[in-house]
Chains A and B, each alone.
Chain A
């Protein structure tokens, strides 16, 4: 039994190590193409199963995002005023919201062609931007810029810019207004209410 477990571990380990070592641009390309391919092959997702699409995102995309960092950046100075418990709940709610938004965007645009740009960074850099362009007929390509940071567990995304609009920065004013009006717990409530309304709609 021990031998089997050991063998299994050995079989898995190189893969995990591979994902950790993978260059950030290669990582973005692989994950994007894998997810787009999964959507193309899955009839349920293509006919509108949002739950299944969210499942795919949670399995394939989420491991490469650092949601704590994203939440901290979106919170700005208010982050330090939050208790560890509040931080955890904020991150959880923000993650749910971002995953839903991401699912909607993917469902709408997954049939477009992608142009993965070569990485402009030194091998020693630990904070890079990976540029992807979504090509669409008759219009300027939409740029997707992933801000990524090197961690002990591989490269992690901490912001996504869509057409020059940083998602994290865009939530800053909203979060700030909400905290100013009703405190950090108020913001958590707002996020919960938002997520609940989206669940009910679908």
Chain B
């Protein structure tokens, strides 16, 4: 009996250290991956992204970002169609057609100036729109915050991405590296602000991610959750 009580105590204290958030049942595992990602970011991703930003003028970095954003509009459109938002899907494909031609392979985002707004969609959001619950919070190696649903979505995103079809492999890998470095460089300010704002960065980032995804699934206007 004493042993059982002792065991209960150990389990309870184990819960206390991970705070037992119901949305994050595998917090221990996640924190492990999180530490790995943070170390990778501190020693590799952030220094490379910072050097990249110093080396290239903002004009050029914007073009790089535009190029990848343009390619992504194809599947942003697909996802809008899959969610039954046909007008938005047509908008996204019109953006792609417009920017790929007049915008020279997407280097210029003329479509935005013309009033065709950029959207934010992916397969994780589509699954959410179809009614799939997020499932447990999940931190992916290198990629960071996700959930079981969004992780499955990300797998489809990457599988479907036109970038994955690029051959030769060397060119594909170079483009992928450029994409990742450019994306990280765009997030340098945001990650610094996060660092400043959070008492516990892991928790702050998790809650922000879950809120953000919920908002995205409802295209910015989720049913209001009243804070008591």
**Which residue of the partner chain B has the closest CB to A187?**
B199
Chain B at the A interface: mostly helix, strand, loop or mixed?
Answer: helix
Residues A73-112 near B (CB distance < 8 A): 73, 76-77, 97, 100-101, 104-105, 108-109
Q: Mark A148-166, 1 if CB is under 8 A from B, else 0.
A: 0000000000010101111
Q: Mark A38-79, 1 if CB is under 8 A from B, else 0.
A: 000000000000000000000000000000000001001100
Residues A106-156 near B (CB distance < 8 A): 108-109, 137-141, 143
A7 at the interface (CB under 8 A from B): no
Complex alpha-carbon distance, A152 and B138, angstroms: 46
B196 adjacent to A100 (CB under 8 Å) = yes
Q: Shortest distance in angstroms between B117's beta carbon and chain A's nearest beta carbon?
A: 7
B220 adjacent to A104 (CB under 8 Å) = no
Interface size class of B (residues with CB under 8 A): 35 or more
B193 at the interface (CB under 8 A from A): yes
B69 adjacent to A104 (CB under 8 Å) = no
A169 adjacent to B66 (CB under 8 Å) = no
A30 at the interface (CB under 8 A from B): no
Query: Do A108 and B189 contact each other (CB < 8 Å), given the known contacts A73-B227, A137-B109, A139-B69?
Result: yes
Q: Which of B3-11, B166-174, B201-209 contacts A (4 or more CB under 8 A)?
A: B201-209
Partner of B200, one of A137, A172, A174, A180: A174
**Which residue of the partner chain B has the closest CB to A191?**
B199
B119 at the interface (CB under 8 A from A): yes
**Which residue of the partner chain A has the closest CB to B64?**
A138
A196 at the interface (CB under 8 A from B): no
Query: Do A163 and B227 contact each other (CB < 8 Å), given the known contacts A173-B203, A177-B203?
Result: no
A170 adjacent to B204 (CB under 8 Å) = yes
B211 adjacent to A76 (CB under 8 Å) = no
A19 at the interface (CB under 8 A from B): no
Q: Shortest distance in angstroms between A179's beta carbon and chain B's nearest beta carbon?
A: 11
B129 at the interface (CB under 8 A from A): no
Complex alpha-carbon distance, A176 and B199, angstroms: 12
B109 adjacent to A138 (CB under 8 Å) = yes
A32 at the interface (CB under 8 A from B): no
- Indicate the member of B16, B117, B220, B225 with the most A CB atoms within 10 Å: B220
B118 at the interface (CB under 8 A from A): yes
Residue contacts A-B, CB under 8 angstroms, 15 given = A76-B228, A104-B192, A137-B66, A138-B65, A139-B69, A163-B215, A164-B220, A165-B215, A166-B211, A169-B227, A170-B207, A172-B227, A174-B198, A174-B203, A177-B19
Q: Which residues of B contact A (CB under 8 A)?
A: 16, 19, 21, 62, 65-66, 69, 109, 112, 117-120, 189-190, 192-193, 196-200, 203-204, 207-208, 211-212, 214-216, 220, 222, 225, 227-228
Q: Which residues of A contact B (CB under 8 A)?
A: 73, 76-77, 97, 100-101, 104-105, 108-109, 137-141, 143, 159, 161, 163-166, 168-174, 177-178, 180-181, 190-191, 194, 198
